[in-house]
Amino acid sequence: MIDMKLTAILDTLMGMKLGTLGIVVLALVMILLILKLLQFKIFANQKIITSKTNNLGLKDIGELATQAGYFSNTQQIKDNAKLFGLDIPLINRNYIYSYDGVIKAGIDFAKIKLDVNEENKMITVKMPPVKILSCEVKEDSLVIYEEKKNIFMPLRLKDISEAKKALVKEAEEKAIANGLLENARQNAEILIKGFLSGTFNREEYTYTFVDTRPKMKEREKNRHHA
């Protein structure tokens, strides 16, 4: 079918009277047409399937969040202009707004130590301290309830930065008070048992989890960070 169409088109083109330029153009058209039709004939019944294999393998887990808490905090920035330590009437600013965020806690799996007693079928898991891994404020969750600006007291980037630091600190304190670290620890134990169950059957082995204290340098680092 394709050969008949190709022959008919070529006969028509060859029967046309053209000048030198026309012959060149005609030749190019014929070449492109032949290539197009031949390509269709060759690949018409060919099915092309592409496949890509992604990297697959196991890596060290490192720090793993085992508990997340979501918060919504309302903050206020309010102050007055001062002169010689005294408030200046009518020159003040007031911003009331809220942010949402998520706070995550977990452990550093790389610091877990295992003691396996095959004779007594006991596994002792030495756990590093649970800690807060991140506290993220969702920038697009900002809701402004009140905004009183003052040209003499513009809102500066420093003000916003300090307010967010206070927000994060308050969120962490509330999350810890509501059991974030304890829940993260419990979930970590469940995950560890799941990881080890492929090698050490839960029905045969007894699991014991023991807390380990960080080294002096790490404690000093955490204390200064806090």
Position 87, amino acid? D
Residue 153: C-alpha distances to residues 102, 133, 149, 200, 205 (Å): 32, 36, 8, 65, 67
Contact 68, 103 (CB under 8 A): yes
pTM: 0.57
Q: At 20, which helix (H) or strand (E)?
A: helix 20-43
Q: In whole angstroms, what is the distance from residue 108 CA to residue 99 CA?
A: 29
Domain ranges of the chain: 2-43, 63-225
Paired tokens of 127: 């756990």
List per-residue pLDDT tens for the chain, 226 residues long: 545 555 555 555 455 554 554 555 566 666 656 555 554 444 444 433 332 333 333 344 467 788 888 888 887 777 665 554 555 555 667 778 788 888 999 988 888 888 888 888 888 888 889 999 988 888 888 777 766 665 655 666 677 778 788 888 888 888 899 899 999 999 999 888 888 888 888 888 888 899 887 654 444 444 334 4
Structure tokens at 222: 């955490």
